[in-house]
Amino acid sequence: MRILTATDIRRAVSMSEAIAAVKTAFAELSGGEAMVPLRIALQTRPHGGTALYMPAYLATSQSLGVKAVSVYPRNQERGLPTIFAAVLLQDPTTGQPIALLEGTYLTALRTGAATGAATDLLARTDASSLALFGTGGQAPTQLEGVCAVRPIQTVSVFSRDAGHASSFIERMRSLPFAQKIEFRVALTPREALGTADVIVTATTARAPLFAASEVAPGAHINAIGSFTPDMQELPAELIAQATVVVDSREACLAEAGDLLIPIRQGLIAPTHIYAELGELVTGRKAGRTSDSQVTLFKSVGNAIQDLAVGRAALERAEREKMGQVVELG
C-alpha cells in the first residue's frame, strides 16, 4: 500500500488536473455509473464536532474507497485545522487496500476543483471579480479553483475577523496564480459583494451571510460551506431566484440547509433544482443561458471527488515513485 502525504498530493496533482478529474467523476455520478451511499454523520456534541464517513465506487473509472473526515469549528481556537481527513483507496477487483492519502489537503483540493468545475460551466466567460466569504482551510483552494478557469483580477475577502482576512490575503499574494490579483479586505458583506461576478461562501454559518438584494445580476455563486440541514449560508430568497445546480440531488436534499430551509418555508420545491453538475458536464443540461442570470452551485461534498482526485494522485505517484510503500499482512 502506498501512503501519500499532503506534500506528495500537491506535487502529484495540479488544480487544472483536479478540475478535469472531478468533472469526469460528476459525469459518472449523474450517468448512474457510481454507487455513493449517503454519508454517515456522527455528532460529537461535547466537542462541537462532526465526523463523516463516505464510501463510493466509480464503475467506469474503476475506483473504490472510503473517506473519513472530521469538521471541528472550535479547532481554530486551538490553532488546528477545522478539517482533518484520510482517504483509503482499494483495488475494486479484490478489495485490497492500495493507498492511504492524507485527506485534509485532498479535501481542500477536490472541493476547490468542484468549485472550479462549476465556475467553468456556469459563470460568465468574462467574469473577473470574486467575493470570497471565509478564510479557513478551504479558502485557498477555492480561490485557486476559480482563478484556474476565469481571468480573476480583483478579490474581495470577508471574514468576521478582519485580521483573518488581512492575514489570508498576505498568504495568497505569494502564490504564483495570485501574483496579478488586486486583493481587498471587505469590512461588510455588502462591500465584499459589490458587483462581484463570482461569489464563494466557505463558512460554517448557520444564518445567511448577506441579503439576496446585494447580489449583482449575472453573478455565479459557489456555496460549499453548509453541509447539514441546520446550516445556512445563503438567504432563502436568493435560492428561490437562482438557477440551482447541485453536486448530488440525493445528498443535497438530505443534507443541505441552504436548500432544505427554503423548502420547509414553502419558498421552493425539490424540483427547483435545475441540474446536477454532471448533467452540465455531459451536455444533458445547458449551463448559463443569459448574462443576467444568477446561477448557484450548491455542494455538500461527495466521495467521488476524493476518489477521482486521489486516483489521479496515486497514478502519478506510482509513475514517479512518490510516497512510502508499506507491506500489509
Q: Is the pLDDT of residue 183 over 80?
A: yes
What is the spatial distance between Cα 50 and Cα 45, in angstroms, rounded to a whole number?
8
Note if the pTM is more than 0.85. Answer: yes
What is the spatial distance between Cα 18 and Cα 307, in angstroms, rounded to a whole number?
11
Q: Is the pLDDT of residue 260 over 90?
A: yes
The predicted model gives 308-327 an average pLDDT of 97
Q: How many CA atoms lie within 13 A of 242 on its CB side?
A: 31
The band of 305, judged by pLDDT with boundaries at 50, 70 and 90, is very high
pLDDT digits (tens, 9 = 90+) for 151-172: 999 999 999 999 999 999 999 9
The helix-helix angle for 303-320 and 15-30 (nearest 10°) equals 130
pLDDT digits (tens, 9 = 90+) for 62-77: 999 999 989 888 998 8
Residue 17 in grid coordinates:
488536473
What is the spatial distance between Cα 316 and Cα 248, in angstroms, rounded to a whole number?
28
Q: What are the chain's domains?
A: 2-107+304-325 (3.30.1780.10), 118-301 (3.40.50.720)
Radius of gyration of the chain (CA): 19
What is the spatial distance between Cα 180 and Cα 73, in angstroms, rounded to a whole number?
32
E strands, the chain, are: 2-4, 34-35, 40-44, 49-58, 63-71, 83-90, 97-102, 129-133, 154-158, 182-185, 198-201, 220-223, 243-246, 273-276, 295-298, 324-325
Evaluate whether 157 touches 189 at the Cβ level (below 8 Å). no
Mind telling me the catalytic residues? Answer: 67
The band of 329, judged by pLDDT with boundaries at 50, 70 and 90, is confident
pLDDT digits (tens, 9 = 90+) for 270-289: 999 999 999 999 999 999 99
The band of 137, judged by pLDDT with boundaries at 50, 70 and 90, is confident
Question: What is the structure's pLDDT at 82?
Answer: 83
